Amino acid sequence: MNTAHQRRFLIRAAHLALLASLAGACAFEPGEPWGYVETTITLSEIDEPAAITISSVELGLRTLRLYSTGSASGPAADFDPANPPPGFSLCHNGHCHADDGSLPSYAEVAAAGQGSAGPILSATKDLHTFLAPNKAISATVEITDRAPLSQADVELSRLVIHGTAQRADADRPIVISVPVNGARLAAAVSISIGRGHDHHQDLGLSIALPADLLAGLDVESLEVGPDGTLTVSATSHRALAEALAARFGEEAALLH
């Protein structure tokens, strides 16, 4: 092989090696997220009913979920990156490798592989915190899917209200635990992710509690506990606690 042929051979070999290394990096090395959603969540106040002075309200937040809108013949969560539909192969880092050489997002693959419209889970952020009125919590959510985000929901764990009840016999501490564990509040959002958009997007959410949640609560009818506290919970005055939970479910909302 003469010198010119050797040079062309070496250049070609180096080019192929570069392509192979790039393909390997795409297939096996995690990359940067397509973007971040900087989320802030606030909580509204509730009205004080007659005979109760509220000292604190704590709403437990478990999980924040962000969704894109795709197509699905069943639940969107059925899309499994480890088992992509025909026409797509390796799925990782928010995208799949299509047979035509393109790199569609998970939402696009789910839409191509299924049928009717439905939300597709794009990102989840564990919160495990408590929120009080006139306070705010912040959470940064990594987005590994380029599809526009269309919905947010917040899963709750508990709602506890502390205060003082003015009764005929005496003023007594009152603790009201509304059973909202597992309840989820959803709101429509519109956030674009990926090329041509800011890498960090802001999302402001507010949880609106029913202002009249405690309206009509009769403190005189509540049994006084051994420690002198009036308690409403799933184990004490359960029917009342469940009625409050039903009112919460009908009127509470996640606002954007």
- The Cβ of residue 70 has, within 10 Å, a number of other Cβ atoms equal to 25
- Can you give the pLDDT at residue 58? 98
Per-residue pLDDT 10s for the chain (256 aa) are: 555 555 555 555 555 444 444 444 443 344 578 899 999 999 999 999 999 999 999 999 999 999 987 543 333 445 667 667 777 767 766 777 787 888 888 777 777 765 445 678 889 999 999 999 989 999 999 998 888 999 999 999 999 999 999 999 999 999 999 999 999 999 999 999 877 888 899 999 999 999 999 999 999 999 999 999 999 999 999 999 999 999 999 999 999 9
pTM over cut 0.75:
no
d(Cα 57, Cα 47) in Å, to the nearest integer?
Answer: 11
Which residues, including other chains, have CB under 8 Å from residue 166's CB and lie 6 or more apart? 51, 52, 53, 219
Q: Which helix (H) or strand (E) holds 151?
A: strand 149-166
> What residues are paired with 54 via a beta bridge?
163
Calculate the CA dihedral of residues 18, 20, 21, 24 and round it to 10 degrees: 160
Closest CA to 129 of 202, 42, 208, 67: 42
Secondary structure (3-state) at 99: coil
> What residues are paired with 155 via a beta bridge?
63, 184
Secondary structure (3-state) at 72: coil
State the first-to-last Cα distance of the chain, in angstroms, to the nearest integer. 70
- Can you give the pLDDT at residue 118? 62
Secondary structure (3-state) at 12: helix
Q: Determine contact, residues 213/248, Cβ cutoff 8 Å.
A: yes
